[in-house]
Chains A and B, each alone.
Chain A
């Protein structure tokens, strides 16, 4: 368990939070400039917090009160920085062997050989870093960090500089590697999909503050505020007012419509709330299906759309009298995401008028 409590004044904001990292992958997720890289530098000992306490399995690295600040050399933390930072004047083998000390020449060679094989680069010892692809460089950097048998592993944007197929491959490799290592691993990303894919624990950081920490699915299902909801992919934010609480849910007036929302604690009739509605959970009602559902159903027309090849984002303007955002000068009320094959099956390209259902699971009360 890596426990981090740190406070550091940065030029535009204060980095200040507490986080516990159990063995497994923790994603430090947030927008650029949230203090993520600085956090890793503090853990590795390359930057010094103004105050705080950093310890690994009860072994203190930094404690401002006790005036402890172990140099990075004595922390034994594997740290793979952005751009991998291989030593350009050394071969791949020399890079990997850099942290090995007190071994005989033969032992060193064997260890480097084994490690390179483990990251899928057997026989690359004599190559120069400049002659490697980005993905290979990343593997060498990982091998170099792992060869010292680190007690924790820090990865700063490990996949951001790679092309998509390499990224997918290395993500998969990291997962299997992690299972065999059983170390606390922190990796930084600003890509929510990547964070969700790899993390056992998702820590959302913005402007130096830890906004939320938990299992990825949990964070997505129950974001603590609008920033987290936005960062984790919510697209529809509707302002409303609680009308009533009944049968374990809230009745919220949103624009011209009454919606049923899950009962978030301590919300009372009269309270203003924001509903975040996840666009991938909004359902289009098939024309041939008979729906018994009356509530959380709105009618409208698709006024715009765009596709990234995997999914289509539809912009739905609800009919007059059913507007969800009547006050806001917006051409549409809801963003809806459907897989491409659904788009094709339902002939959405030709058929623009739809009835949509906003299931309670899609709605988060903020």
Chain B
């Protein structure tokens, strides 16, 4: 019985790591855009990125289910190309990623905004390309906030319950992550195993929080 508990943990890590990478790849560019560029609809975009933070996870999951499920053209197309998301571990990734997305955007945006734009100005007068300036000036100066955002993203994705349940279901061995597993253990009155899992998740989450807070305390 104890053996069985490692599958949800493995699955949780697989989902959470993939979701965190996905959020890094999409959230950091968006945060940079919001922090540095002025364009019409910027405020609306910033607000939309925050939406998953205020929506109930089940509502968020419902939207995703409608958008990605077999009822929608997009969902059907995904199924046709052999990449269905609903009721797969990939669906759990999408759910966890979107639920955690605002944390990454907010943290990275704060990080980018804390970089003095005049430093980028100096770099321009020194002849460096915008690409080089991003990689050599902006990113290195904002990286603490980005890593902190990634830690928060990881913690939030690890703990997602509602959105994951709606999109990916609770299929043992396929989409049953730790959070869902703990719920099942409690339902089945298997308190001892639930305690182990809860303790494990708590330690992990607290560690991530400590990391995030350390990084956000700016040293430079």
Give the B-binding residues of A (Cβ under 8 A): 41, 44-46, 71-79, 81, 85, 87-89, 98-99, 101, 130, 144-145, 148
Contacts and interface: CB of A to CB of B under 8 A. Distances in A.
13 contacts: A41-B121, A44-B125, A45-B124, A45-B125, A72-B124, A81-B121, A85-B119, A85-B122, A87-B123, A99-B127, A99-B128, A101-B128, A144-B126
B93 to A, nearest CB: 33
Contacts of B136: 98
A46 B121 contact: yes
Given A87-B137, A145-B125, 14 more contacts: A45-B124, A46-B124, A46-B125, A71-B124, A73-B129, A76-B127, A79-B121, A81-B122, A87-B123, A88-B220, A99-B126, A101-B127, A148-B126, A148-B127
A71 B127 CA distance: 9
- From B116, B126, B127, B128, residue with most partner A Cβ within 10 Å: B126
A44 B127 CA distance: 11
Nearest to A128: B220
Task: Assign chain B's interface to a size class.
Answer: 10 to 19
Contacts, number: 57
Contacts of B73: none
A74 B130 CA distance: 12
A44 B121 CA distance: 9
Nearest to A77: B125
Interface of B: 116, 118-119, 121-129, 136-137, 140-141, 220
A41 B118 CA distance: 10
Contact of B128 (A89, A98, A145): A98
Contacts of B119: 85, 87
Contacts of A75: 125
B111 to A, nearest CB: 13
A79 B127 contact: no
Contacts of A148: 126-127
Contacts of A85: 116, 118-119, 122
B141 A88 contact: yes
A79 B125 contact: yes
A79 to B, nearest CB: 4
A89 B116 CA distance: 13
